[in-house]
Structure 1
């Protein structure tokens, strides 16, 4: 007999025979009425019957998700303990939570919504048929898959943002400033670095007195797919968290769960500090529909879990307290199943997504109707900047200085813009790009974070959902790999999973690429953008001059604020201090601060020269080197134009082809590695557009060395000259 049928038949038999567990305490002690108990039982039963139907639908080829919530139905009581306006970042086994919360909001039908999700209907109100996720805009449940607790860092960020909202209200807040953020996860996910980092970051933040109204809920069923959780590991681990208060309950007992959840939620709301609720429960039916639990778990252990069915415990309480008799309990169970069957028959007939454009329509969130912000007034700027900075606005400067001035202007002009990152405050960043900004705008807007890239990006995602415009910084491009899933699996997917109802705009600044002389090797010289290039929906910029950096960051902030985009700005470290181009003291790479309102948006390429012999298509350090090569080629009679892409994603194919038009040859210069670099896409574009004459010069497929060989694997001006001559011969 399959486990779903076995558990179902055992429930019917035990209620009929009165074979029920003992009941401890009374519902009234937790503030529950008889009607409340019945409502929670109905929510639990609905979740259970949905799990049964999910397996039926899958067997018919009409359902596409069978990781159920059976055994975790006690989380319905957590919904009862919280406000509907409290954002909930849910574990994938929390169907009962969403069902119970939906019952608190008129007009919501969680059963129908979830069946549409199970059957991948385009009418699914949260994802539009793109994925089976718990979530609801009306219920303040942002969707996520929560498979490895990757949603915990952004929940931490949302709690930080809500705490911050009291002293610095965002332009358009998503949630009230007295909200509590709830995020739930499984005991196996507790061991993942995302969960560990979020718990640590929450405690670290609260330890310093910063408001962080966050309730973690660890749903402990004792096993992760097939790997058991060591006895007492979860409780001992969570109790030891500095700065995070610990609560626990028996998740099989709806009253005990409500008692503990109410106590924990009230504690967090009153103190504005994080807490964790450890709820013990069971996992029924195995991990998912395809999981044969008997292949790794003893039969008596499975039987013991099934005997502790939380629905049996709730039924026992209903009978013991005289709220219902056995016929009532079974009547609700049967009535809900019949309703699930009827609704499922309708759900399978609803339309599905059909085309690639249908699926991709939610990658980019809809633009927001936001009032356009102008740059700071001369008076405001004069009040913020000192005399030396004001003079610098009128004189040619290197990128690091202009970028510092540009970020100050953006902070002044955009009240909701908040920076966060390691060392960006007092120190002003490793390269001084944010120097002086914390003193000007305060530690609430220029946040010195802990050393944890996942938490930095999670903070940004959560703050963005609350209505701020975050500008996080990852100290070096190589460090992004510690947290790349926060972009790939969270930030970039939120509009996709929510059909554009939720977004988390930001401007992520990363110091990166190569050519630093003798510093740090590949840990600080990372010439690979592959991890960013294949994330759908994000925008990638790479400025190479100070003026471009300022104008592109202005456009990036506008895209984040008005178009709700995730923008990544990769800033070439080696070009931060660059002053000269052809020779010492020539100042050829210095630029002037752009006038107010000047922006460089995607598609606006930088074209230098009008030569027709050769077009050199490049970006970042490649632009600098190509400009050096351009002058040397002119001496040899080759008239070249240099095209700086500036924006690498989305690649504006029409603009690129228009820029190379009229040139006899095309040379692509890419400082990133031959494999996975932008040059691959550019070469494909050239061939597809009828330019098979194009060639490329790239870095080697190798890490970067420290010391004198720092540039040995990278393109050089000499190499560009040689490649150009060979191409034009």
Structure 2
């Protein structure tokens, strides 16, 4: 009866031809059955409200071959239909309990060993599989970055992560995801690097089931799109057939390991049981189409091979299937009774965990510093602008942290748009100052992958507006990794971004973006925004130390208009410059620590960035011409805020003026008004000045939508006199 229901062979191969022993075929089939019964069990439990995830792997079980042939030292970035892959991979390490672990994840138990009950994810620290929560290709850029890290490791050893020299990266995804700009960018970047003979040992596995939720992939589309790509080695296999899958994966691995170049393995599969538990396929597919896929069920193909090779009888296959079904059901009943998360504090504990395994900051090598900065010695005692001070700080950081890498568009010979990275490539070489292609998703993905493999990346995004091309790499990938892995995985980095407005009309809204709302909305992100060069140096050092010690993701906003600013009140006063102070010779500025100028009590002005610069200019006029006693606070850090210290610093003042160069809606001034109103109700007269809810126009029109000195003076006078609130 079983034989009559089996599909015909799709390839003419034998187990011997691909080097598989009979026991290995049975082992792969067992993993496939386990994965399928997990899918069935999840849907049964969902009906009982005991499981909370029903996107399964049915039809993709051929990827068990990936779990067998890739080593557990080949880091794997997985698609969500990779149940069989992870089960098979776990068999490489004694003591793993994949069925129980995955059922704990289905049940959102706090004992789930990867996410601690925060999400159903496929991941494992012991198996080197970072958790992946989204599959719209958002994991491809970081997989590409990890592949670059493997190549870099041969020239620049990472910190604490030692993988075999011939390790490769595994990254699988679906045919629908292959169309996403993120996938296209990552694959293009991998090919771009390989085309220039830069090592990129990665196997991209496109599991092509012909449909994305309800949208059909045109027949032949994946082959036509990727078989002729420069720098990319294309291979094909039929993922419904274990033997052809082994053949294809063996060829892909052999090429990637030997040549250290990217491979695109096109694996044909089918999708069974619909997209998810709530999906009714016959609503958008014909019954004939659904049944045609069911006839190509990879489990039926595997059963056929076992029967044809006289490895198992039909009765033994049915018995194995029944045993696994009973086993999965029994384990499920145990998993659903395990503890769940019980408090907000438990849920949030992994957003930014305070780590006990702190990596100590390496000491500065003063002898090496003198040699490195010999050409700059004459200038070090002279006042410098912010751009130059950040440049010197980066040089010291690269010298001190031997695993630190600067990467971004034009950061090499050109030195960046504003010369902030000038000379670094000459001092440290192109392997540590990496010129990337023009793709922000790939720049950030490179940084995430580097961070996961023991490097400390400092990616540069040329302009704040350009982040929006790739914000999911920060929001959905970098910032969530610790949360969804219960603190087991991290991708430390300091993202340098030139931003904010006041460039005297240059560039329009693309070069004068004045919204930081996207960063402030991301849990756990540290956001620094220095207003002057001296602070920028100390804050950048603190950011790098935080990323190194606690593996945090940090955003470092550099106000473009203040890069070259030297004077505060009149030409030549040099009031906004500073001499460079080396590491260990100055006072660090810790995250959350704000600056305060003056100790007056009539008025407190709170600002940051360009707003603080304008407020400092206005402060002298208010004191000298209007007799107002005031203090000006520079927030420096937009997250985290030291709320209690800020409330205490403002407490003696009758009035508080918030000067915010960002837009009125979604700016930090909204949060500050809320803070002062809640913590000190009725204590202060409060007002705020902000930019308009508008994009920045070109030329002098830019001044019409941004705060200026006259507005600050008028608001301050009105507030002190009680004319506004």
Q: TM-score, normalised by structure 2?
A: 0.97
State the shift of 1:521 in Å. 0.3
Partner Cα separation in structure 1 for residue 484 and residue 582 of structure 2: 40
2:673 maps to which of 683, 707, 716: 683
State the shift of 1:366 in Å. 4.5
Task: Answer yes or no: is the 8 Å Cα contact 1:623–1:644 preserved in 2.
Answer: yes
Look up the match of 2:589. 600
Partner Cα separation in structure 1 for residue 595 and residue 425 of structure 2: 33
Partner Cα separation in structure 2 for residue 621 and residue 18 of structure 1: 73
State the shift of 1:373 in Å. 1.6
Look up the match of 2:121. 133
CA pair 22-240 structure 1, distance change in 2 beyond 3 A = closer
2:661 aligned counterpart, secondary structure: strand
Look up the match of 1:303. 291
2:507 maps to which of 505, 514, 520: 520
Task: Answer yes or no: is the 8 Å Cα contact 2:3–2:304 preserved in 1.
Answer: no
1:631 aligned counterpart, secondary structure: helix
2:562 maps to which of 570, 575, 592: 575
Look up the match of 1:472. 459
1:372 maps to which of 361, 367, 378: 361
2:142 maps to which of 154, 172, 192: 154
1:659 maps to which of 649, 663, 671: 649
CA pair 677-18 structure 1, distance change in 2 beyond 3 A = closer
1:634 aligned counterpart, secondary structure: helix
Partner Cα separation in structure 1 for residue 296 and residue 418 of structure 2: 59
Deviates more, 1:139-148 or 1:452-461: 139-148
State the shift of 1:594 in Å. 3.0
2:369 aligned counterpart, secondary structure: helix
Task: Answer yes or no: is the 8 Å Cα contact 1:464–1:506 preserved in 2.
Answer: yes
Partner Cα separation in structure 2 for residue 626 and residue 359 of structure 1: 40
Look up the match of 1:443. 430
2:628 maps to which of 628, 638, 641: 638
Look up the match of 1:705. 697
Provide structure 1 residue ranges, at least 5 long, that are not aligned to the other structure: 1-13
Partner Cα separation in structure 1 for residue 451 and residue 522 of structure 2: 19
Look up the match of 1:3. none
State the shift of 1:547 in Å. 0.6
State the shift of 1:17 in Å. 4.6
Partner Cα separation in structure 2 for residue 268 and residue 522 of structure 1: 43
Structural mapping, 1:262-277, within 5 Å: 262-277=250-265
- Deviations 1:536-561 (CA, angstroms, capped at 9, x unpaired): 11100000111100000000000000
State the shift of 1:566 in Å. 0.2
Question: Would you say 1:407 and 2:397 are equivalent positions?
Answer: no
1:49 maps to which of 19, 22, 37: 37
Structural mapping, 1:252-401, within 5 Å: 252-367=240-355, 368-377=357-366, 379-387=367-375, 389-401=376-388
- Deviations 1:292-330 (CA, angstroms, capped at 9, x unpaired): 110000010001011111000000000000110001111
2:82 maps to which of 94, 117, 134: 94
Structural mapping, 1:522-537, within 5 Å: 522-537=509-524
Provide structure 2 residue ranges, at least 5 long, that are not aligned to the other structure: none
1:728 maps to which of 710, 720, 723: 720
State the shift of 1:19 in Å. 4.1
Deviates more, 1:282-291 or 1:393-402: 393-402
Task: Answer yes or no: is the 8 Å Cα contact 1:551–1:594 preserved in 2.
Answer: no
Number of equivalent positions: 714
Task: Answer yes or no: is the 8 Å Cα contact 2:592–2:639 preserved in 1.
Answer: no
1:415 aligned counterpart, secondary structure: coil
Partner Cα separation in structure 1 for residue 432 and residue 297 of structure 2: 49
- Deviations 1:185-230 (CA, angstroms, capped at 9, x unpaired): 0000000011000000000001101111100000000000000001
Look up the match of 1:234. 222
Partner Cα separation in structure 2 for residue 32 and residue 95 of structure 1: 21
Look up the match of 2:711. 719
Partner Cα separation in structure 1 for residue 493 and residue 350 of structure 2: 18
Look up the match of 1:648. 638
2:417 maps to which of 430, 437, 442: 430
Partner Cα separation in structure 1 for residue 194 and residue 267 of structure 2: 23
1:709 aligned counterpart, secondary structure: helix
- Deviations 1:1-35 (CA, angstroms, capped at 9, x unpaired): xxxxxxxxxxxxx5265644237321111110000
CA pair 646-664 structure 1, distance change in 2 beyond 3 A = same
Partner Cα separation in structure 2 for residue 38 and residue 127 of structure 1: 31
Partner Cα separation in structure 1 for residue 66 and residue 394 of structure 2: 43
2:703 aligned counterpart, secondary structure: coil
Partner Cα separation in structure 1 for residue 526 and residue 709 of structure 2: 29
Look up the match of 2:232. 244
Partner Cα separation in structure 1 for residue 416 and residue 427 of structure 2: 15
Stretches of 4+ aligned residues off by more than 3 angstroms: 16-20, 174-177
Question: Would you say 1:215 and 2:206 are equivalent positions?
Answer: no
State the shift of 1:175 in Å. 3.5
Look up the match of 2:497. 510
- Deviations 1:651-678 (CA, angstroms, capped at 9, x unpaired): 1101211221211111111000000101
Partner Cα separation in structure 1 for residue 572 and residue 156 of structure 2: 46
Partner Cα separation in structure 2 for residue 18 and residue 540 of structure 1: 60
Task: Answer yes or no: is the 8 Å Cα contact 1:365–1:565 preserved in 2.
Answer: no
Look up the match of 2:176. 188
Look up the match of 2:98. 110
2:494 aligned counterpart, secondary structure: strand
RMSD of aligned residue pairs (Cα, Å): 1.1
1:205 aligned counterpart, secondary structure: helix
State the shift of 1:518 in Å. 2.1
State the shift of 1:650 in Å. 1.4
1:215 aligned counterpart, secondary structure: strand
Look up the match of 1:32. 20
Question: Would you say 1:542 and 2:529 are equivalent positions?
Answer: yes
1:583 aligned counterpart, secondary structure: coil
Task: Answer yes or no: is the 8 Å Cα contact 2:6–2:301 preserved in 1.
Answer: no
Question: Would you say 1:628 and 2:628 are equivalent positions?
Answer: no
State the shift of 1:392 in Å. 2.4
Look up the match of 1:497. 484
Deviates more, 1:364-373 or 1:646-655: 364-373
1:312 aligned counterpart, secondary structure: helix
Question: Would you say 1:201 and 2:193 are equivalent positions?
Answer: no
Partner Cα separation in structure 2 for residue 331 and residue 207 of structure 1: 51
Task: Answer yes or no: is the 8 Å Cα contact 2:240–2:268 preserved in 1.
Answer: yes
CA pair 553-417 structure 1, distance change in 2 beyond 3 A = same
Task: Answer yes or no: is the 8 Å Cα contact 1:87–1:175 preserved in 2.
Answer: no
Partner Cα separation in structure 1 for residue 691 and residue 358 of structure 2: 43
